[in-house]
Amino acid sequence: MSKQLISLMAIILIILSACGNEETEESSEPDSLAPLEVEILTEQNVSKGDVTLSAHVTHDGNNVNEADEVEFEVWQEGSKEESDMIEGSFTEEGVYEANYTFEEDAVYHMIAHVTAVDQHTMPQQALAVGEAELDEDQSNEESHDEDHSDHN
């Protein structure tokens, strides 16, 4: 009886130590619950004409080089219903870019729609194009991150 008890305890100890190793391996992987972070790199004051829209995408401190989707939505102040959607392309180290032509001196708004790691976020930034100037509310406009997580 004591040999069976010792054998049973040894088996339980082996199983428990194996479970402990699995937890250690899993903890070295990125945290899928960490928020997707997008930093708009485009300056708030840009010249009229061709401008590169740019955003840096990270997750859990790491560059996201294979986002599911990156699109830049741009519209002139007061004309959101006439917005343009421009697909962003990966350039390097988590940075996505798209070219856009601003044809008028005016205040514009840009949203970087980013979908990656089962999350969607949409930071927004006001842009003063050409001779246009941002008012205090626009220049302090906080990015409106909306985290739409879909953890399967």
Tokens standing for residue 9: 């305890």
DSSP 8: H
Q: What is the pLDDT of residues 119-134, one digit of tens each?
A: 999 999 999 999 999 8
Contact 130, 104 (CB under 8 A): yes
Please tell me the predicted confidence (pLDDT) of residue 30.
53
DSSP class per residue in 107-142: EEEEEEEEEETTEEE--EEEEEETT----HHHHTPP
Give pTM, 2 decimals: 0.72
Please tell me the predicted confidence (pLDDT) of residue 141.
60
Q: Of 110, 108, 62, which Cα lies nearest the Cα of 88?
A: 110
Label residue 135 by pLDDT band (50, 70, 90): confident
Q: Domains of the chain: which residue ranges?
A: 36-139
Please tell me the predicted confidence (pLDDT) of residue 143.
46
Average pLDDT of span 52-71: 97
Please tell me the predicted confidence (pLDDT) of residue 28.
43
Label residue 6 by pLDDT band (50, 70, 90): confident
Q: What is the pLDDT of residues 15-32, one digit of tens each?
A: 766 655 544 444 445 566
Between CA 16 and CA 2 the distance in angstroms is: 21
**According to the CATH classification, is domain 36-139 in 2.40.420.20?**
no
Please tell me the predicted confidence (pLDDT) of residue 23.
45
Please tell me the predicted confidence (pLDDT) of residue 25.
42
Please tell me the predicted confidence (pLDDT) of residue 24.
40
- Looking at the DSSP bridge assignments, the partners of residue 27 are none
